[in-house]
Structure 1
Amino acid sequence: MTNKYKNKKVTVDGIEFDSKMESDYYLYLKQLEKQGIVSEFLMQKEYVLLEGYVKSNKKIRPIKYKADFEVHYADGHIEVVDVKGFLTADFKLKKKLFEYRFPFNLKLVKFSRIDGGWIELEDYEKAVKERKKQKLAK
């Protein structure tokens, strides 16, 4: 089955992931855990970005964000990681709300063979622009 972004659901270790890339990152984190770099990681942790409220006797639901992974490193720092192929307008807004409300770094990653593996989405987009620029210069 595919979702609205044409990702196929994948099952690994009895866990259903929204995409192959997300399941691959899970396996990558398990490897880092075995190496002692990551002490633990949580999956699909929910964060409340804006509390629910009542206005004109109408109950307004909270705005929530469910992260792919919350990663606890052996050195004590924590990162929240979302595996993304691209950014949506909805996610850009949620990212701003998350960063305002929580002290953790929200890292967006994707896998790129040409760039050597897991790379932050922002760095990937810069690298693609640079490759296009170099290609046009030839």
Structure 2
Amino acid sequence: MAKIKSRKTSYYGNEFDSKAEGEFYLLLRADENVLDIELQPQYTLLSAFSVPCHRCEGKGKVENQKTLRMNKCTLCSSTGKRMRQPWKYTADFKVTYKDGKEEVIDVKGYANERFPLVKKMFENVMGFELVVWQKNNKKGWVRK
């Protein structure tokens, strides 16, 4: 996966990851139908979980090959389980309109290979659409 080179920009005291994201923020601020704009809302797509430790097979102790004694498993800290971090997704904006409608928006200059999977997972877990806007040089802002 290639690194996306974007410049951080700042508008109204808020820092944005890209120029396109900052410009879209200005567009949202100018829209009279927008009641509230939340920046960088975070969503948990997959909660933290544990798996059995493969070294100690979930027992928490491992036999020492030299002394043949049972030692604490250092891989799982003697718990028998290995923790996995939660999968979190940070969107660009959560917009609330005057009519009560809410949208979670992600501004993309370029969508990498991983993004379609993240979008699908977000929509499955949260139960609503992740709206993607992309800036096109000829057409302006295009909803994808």
Q: How would you bin the TM-score normalised by the shorter chain?
A: 0.7 to 0.9
- Alpha-carbon distance in structure 1 between the residues aligned to 2:11 and 2:37: 16
Query: 1:14-93 residue pairs with structure 2 within 5 A?
Result: 14-32=13-31, 35=32, 37-56=33-52, 57-93=81-117
The alignment's C-alpha RMSD in Å is 1.2
**1:65: Cα distance to partner?**
0.4
Query: Unpaired segments of 5 or more residues in structure 1?
Result: 123-138
TM-score (normalised: structure 1): 0.77
* Structure number having the greater helix percentage: 1
Give % identity: 39
In 2: Cα distance, 1:39 partner to 1:110 partner:
22
Choose the corresponding residue for 1:97, options 111, 116, 121: 121
Runs of 4+ in 1 over 6 A off after TM superposition: none
**1:92, distance to aligned residue in structure 2 (A):** 1.2
The answer to whether the Cα contact below 8 Å between 1:7 and 1:18 also exists between their aligned partners in 2 is: yes
Number of equivalent positions: 114
Other structure's SS at 2:4 match: coil
Q: What is the Cα deviation at residue 111 of structure 1?
A: 2.0
1:40-76 deviation digits (Å, cap 9, x = unpaired):
1111000000111011100100111000001111111
- Bigger proportion of residues as strand: 2
Q: Conserved in 1, the CA contact under 8 Å of 2:50 and 2:82? A: yes
For structure 2, the residue ranges without an aligned partner over 5 or more in a row are 53-80
Q: Could you say what secondary structure the match of 1:7 adopts?
A: coil
Q: 3-state SS of the aligned residue for 2:7?
A: coil
2:142 match: secondary structure? strand
Measure how far apart 1:113 and its partner are. 4.3
Q: What is the aligned partner in structure 2 of residue 7 from structure 1?
A: 6
Contact between 1:78 and 1:104, CA under 8 Å: does it hold in 2? no
Report the Cα offset of residue 119 of structure 1.
Answer: 1.1
